[in-house]
Amino acid sequence: MRPQPEEYAPFYETYVNLVPENDFMDAFQRAMDEVHGVLDTIPADKADYAYAEGKWTVKQLLQHIIDTERVFSYRAACIARGEKQSLPGFNENEYAAAADVETRSLKDMKEELLALKHSVYLMFKGFTPEMLKQIGTASGKPVSTLALGYISIGHIRHHFTILHDRYGI
């Protein structure tokens, strides 16, 4: 089961397209394996590396992935439970500026992302087909629970491609 284009804003098409799997839970399991694999390849000496002036460091990028995963999973939980109120958007650059990654260890950030991704996997595993079909509103646009799962997986894949292509990881 895949989300249909009317289940998410066009902005998210890039992320949804990065998830070619039709079996959602299989896609999620593969994504968890990918997270493990990529995190294992990030060397400690690259933690504070940015590929260009004004770009995020590796730790800032990981924090962005963590923050976004939390936002998407919160939205999914709300919508799956029938929330009718519009859920707020978030500004990734403001979140990044407010996060203090300087005092965090790369090891702790990797552990947090792994634990978070596993928790989100278990949450989605517990959703019924009816819950996955629920549509709510986030950032002023309609979105289904299922679409949020695909968006979450695609978002991480997108940033892991950037880690590979621009950070050399």
Find the CATH number of the domain harbouring 128. Answer: 1.20.120.450
Q: What does pTM read for this prediction?
A: 0.96
Judged against a pLDDT cut of 90, whether residue 39 lies above it is answered with yes
The secondary structure of the chain as a DSSP string is ----GGGS-GGGHHHHHT---SSHHHHHHHHHHHHHHHHHH--GGGTT--SSTTSPPHHHHHHHHHHHHHHHHHHHHHHHTT--SPBP---HHHHHHH---TTS-HHHHHHHHHHHHHHHHHHHHH--HHHHH-EEEETTEEEEHHHHHHHHHHHHHHHHHHHHHHH--
Give pLDDT, residue 1.
Answer: 86
d(CA 127, CA 12): 22
Average pLDDT, the chain: 97
Judged against a pLDDT cut of 90, whether residue 157 lies above it is answered with yes
Range of the domain at 60: 5-167
Buried b / exposed e across 6-35, counting CB within 10 Å, b at 16+? ebbeeebeebbebbeeeebeebbeebbeeb
Tell me what the mean pLDDT of segment 12-27 comes to.
96
Give pLDDT, residue 131.
Answer: 98
Q: How many domains does the chain have?
A: 1
* 75-130 confidence digits (pLDDT tens): 999 999 999 999 999 999 999 999 999 999 999 999 999 999 999 999 999 999 99
d(CA 109, CA 120): 16
Give pLDDT, residue 101.
Answer: 97
